[in-house]
Structure 1
């Protein structure tokens, strides 16, 4: 079995691999659905019903703060999480609310006034193919 990139990143930063972190990493690893904390929590409690939603929130936010996963604000008042930290954008369907990865070459704009851009997010909103075809 392939070693989890998320668990490896946690360990590389000197953090302990707790059972909760391991379970959350398993739920996230390879997940293309960009789940919210509530979505992750629902999957986690299927396996470990004693894990609290507070633990899930804290773990996801810690992983995002460390750059191990991405935290996304797609405009629906809750954070979504993406285990793919490679440079990419996102597309949100305004009808079905699905979030899609968009891999494209985007250059980081040069900003005057002494700013140094370290990271950014581009999130596009519109209709996915399925929703557009169903209209």
Structure 2
């Protein structure tokens, strides 16, 4: 397994860092593959138009405000519905990798950083920070919605 080789041949900090990058990339690719990107983009565009219409409304008809608000909120909740399943599926590799690394390498007992607050010296910082940065980089680079 890739994780075994990453965490066994390298210094602990480098291995955990590389493992975090790998898992972040895999998780974002899973999200990208499972999520309806075109539908999400369409709903985002419609929601932006609905919010602008609500902001631009200058009348005093409460029914019109209600209708505009309902449209804006409805589209926002539709977007949440579109991304919820793929997001939950993309979280699975992250949690599984974190659990596996913690159980197999007793990383919770090690301090990987010599300096800094005690709460950020553990493997969590070296794993979750590059994981998030790798996922965000992929998202921005490829325009993942």
Per the normalisation by structure 1, the TM-score is 0.22
Normalized per residue, which structure has more helix?
2
Per the normalisation by structure 2, the TM-score is 0.21
Asked which structure has the greater CA Rg, the reply is 2
Normalized per residue, which structure has more strand?
1
Q: Which has the higher contact order (CA 8 A, sep 6+)?
A: 2
